[in-house]
Homo-oligomer: A and B are copies of this chain.
Amino acid sequence: MDTSPLDRSLLLDFYGELLTEKQRVTCDLHWNEDLSLAEIAEQNGLTRQGVWDILRRAEAALREYEAKTGLVGRFLERREAIAGIRKDLAALLPDDERSRDILARLEELT
């Protein structure tokens, strides 16, 4: 599978519920839980090749959703904008409790 600026876990987080359950679970085990193809195959009575095919098709579907809607890209742009605002604010605000609270709330959004 190719590397990409868009993290596969993020694509799965956004569009995973649009996949079949088998696809979603397989992607989660491999991409998030870091199980190997062989481990997933053994747990599910599949071949390594079968697991590979599920992952390949699921990733293609996720990338297709992103190509159409661009929602992950938009999310990342907004997140970057918030991080930039937070950085500028950190240099501007006094070091008191209200300021720290606001910076923490911005941090949560990034």
Contacts and interface: CB of A to CB of B under 8 A. Distances in A.
Nearest to A17: B68
A78 interface: yes
Q: Chain A interface: which size bin?
A: 20 to 34
B92 A109 contact: no
Interface string A93-109: 10000110010011011
Interface stretch (A28-36, A37-45, A52-60, A81-89): A81-89
Given A109-B81, A109-B82, A18 B102 contact: no
Given A92-B98, A92-B102, A99-B92, A18 B65 contact: yes
A15 B17 CA distance: 14
A24 B108 CA distance: 35
A69 interface: yes
A14 B88 contact: no
Contacts of A109: 78, 81-82
